[in-house]
């Protein structure tokens, strides 16, 4: 381990990863641990962009189901991703990492607006780039945001960080007979409804042949292992 396989990555974090064991809110110890893993990879020369969900604070779909207008609920969810982005940015900077955050919703007091050329420049300068605010549009998930931004910045791979070590035939926490896939094709994920990312995100990656690696974020050193080409988790690629 040591030679890089991927030099520019898009790391997709769930909102729940920011909450650690408490599952809701922001647990700063959990955020610091994630920041340490990212900083280690940044120090190796990897260009890193991050997309974070907001489910630890608010899910637009659940707020909508509770009676809030769907468009309003989705904007609330986008704002939750900004809170997570600021927490991660602060943790990274405390470790000495240079960062920038760009949002899809204009809020110049806390972050830059998303501008692709500026984003590319930040990556070239080895800054950790955090994308928040989703796509800036309701009805789109942060999975789709991750796929879209990955295409725009020319990422070589999407690393989807989860709490399990890959994609399984069933929930391994509930079904002990669940079998892990080491590799999947995009078309099979779509045809069989396998829970990797939402259909829009998978279709976008399939059309542009951008691989997705699903791995366990909470095993120390796993981001480094992935960028160095070690075979962990599940890789989704091909048609």
Domain coordinates of the chain in residue numbers?
8-237
Q: What is the pLDDT of residue 2?
A: 59
**Separation of alpha carbons 239 and 236, rounded Å:** 10
> What is the predicted pLDDT for the residue at 135?
96
Instruction: For residue 161, count CB atoms less than 10 angstroms from its CB and return exposed for 0-12, middle for 13-18, buried for 19 or more.
Output: buried
Mean pLDDT, the chain, whole residue set: 94
Higher-scoring residue by pLDDT: 172, 88? 88
pLDDT bracket for residue 186 (50, 70, 90): very high
Q: Which of 150, 112, 137 is nearest to 11 (CA)?
A: 150
User: Could you tell me the sign of the dihedral formed by the alpha carbons of 154, 200, 135, 170, in that order?
Assistant: negative
Instruction: Report CA dihedral (181, 182, 186, 187) to the nearest 10 degrees.
Output: -50
102 and 115 in contact (C-beta within 8 Å)?
A: yes
Element (H, E) at 213: strand 212-216
Q: Is the pTM of this model over 0.75?
A: yes
Dihedral sign of CA atoms 212, 153, 203, 84 in order: positive
CB of 72 closer than 8 Å to CB of 96:
no
- pLDDT per residue as tens digits for the range 207-230: 999 999 999 999 999 999 999 999
Integer angstrom CA distances of residue 239 from 184, 208, 212, 235: 9, 11, 13, 13
The class (CATH top level) of 8-237 is alpha beta
Predicted local distance difference test score (pLDDT) of residue 60: 83
């Amino acid at each position: 381990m040591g030679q890089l396989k991927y030099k520019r990555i898009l790391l997709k974090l769930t909102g729940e990863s920011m909450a650690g064991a408490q599952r809701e809110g922001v647990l700063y110890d959990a955020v610091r641990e994630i920041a340490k893993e990212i900083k280690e990879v940044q120090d190796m020369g990897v260009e890193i962009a991050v997309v974070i969900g907001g489910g630890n604070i608010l899910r637009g779909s659940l707020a909508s189901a509770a009676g809030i207008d769907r468009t309003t609920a989705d904007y609330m969810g986008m704002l939750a991703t900004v809170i997570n982005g600021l927490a991660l940015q602060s943790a990274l900077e405390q470790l000495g990492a240079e960062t920038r955050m760009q949002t899809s919703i204009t809020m110049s007091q806390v972050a830059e607006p998303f501008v692709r050329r500026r984003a590319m420049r930040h990556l070239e300068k080895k800054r950790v780039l955090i994308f928040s605010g989703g796509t800036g549009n309701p009805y789109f998930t942060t999975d789709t945001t991750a796929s879209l931004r990955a295409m725009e910045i020319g990422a070589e791979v999407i690393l989807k960080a989860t709490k399990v070590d890959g994609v399984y035939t069933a929930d391994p926490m509930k079904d002990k007979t669940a079998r892990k896939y080491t590799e999947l094709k995009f078309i099979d994920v779509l045809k069989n409804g396998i829970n990797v990312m939402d259909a829009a995100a998978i279709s976008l990656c399939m059309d542009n042949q951008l691989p997705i690696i699903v791995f366990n974020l909470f095993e120390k050193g796993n981001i480094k292992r992935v960028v160095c080409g070690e075979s962990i988790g599940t890789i989704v690629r091909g048609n």
